Amino acid sequence: MAQELTNQKCEPCSGNSPPVSDEEIAELKPQVPDWKIREEAGERRLERTYKLPDFRTALNFTNRIGEEAEKEGHHPALLTEYGKLTVTWWTHAISALHKNDFIMAAKTDELAVQFAAKS
């Protein structure tokens, strides 16, 4: 059985790193069921919007994701607004999704519990 995504570490990527295949997405996506795969500028991305009680909570959650991103060396796009935070993961070096994005989506969901985030 595959190691739980939240227990895995991101691996360094380069422009030669392969994106996840459709088969890998089919295996990984159920582990982050609340994330949507969307396409922007021809790139697949993972995105989720968390509802939060207020701006301060959204900002604190944003900062906590930033700390985890720094530890893993993998950084998302973050849109912090009153009562919500939209997080988008994709791998810039390959302009596509990599397993790292799924790892970080799972870690983001794990962090969200601390902030009473809901879908």
CA separation for the pair 106, 100 (Å, rounded): 10
Structural domains of the chain, count: 1
Examine the pLDDT at 2 and tell me if it is beyond 70.
no
Confidence of residue 27 (pLDDT cuts 50, 70, 90): very high
Asked if the structure places residue 25 within a domain, the reply is: no
CA separation for the pair 66, 74 (Å, rounded): 9
Asked if the structure places residue 14 within a domain, the reply is: no
User: CB atoms < 10 A from the CB of 2, how many?
Assistant: 8
Tens of pLDDT, residue by residue over 34-81, are 999 999 999 999 999 999 999 999 999 999 999 999 999 999 999 999
| CATH classification at residue 75 | 3.30.1360.20
pTM of the model: 0.92
Using alpha carbons only, how large is the chain's radius of gyration in Å? 14
Residue 3: the pLDDT is: 62
> Structural domain of residue 61, as residue ranges?
31-115
Asked if the structure places residue 10 within a domain, the reply is: no
Residue 67: the pLDDT is: 97
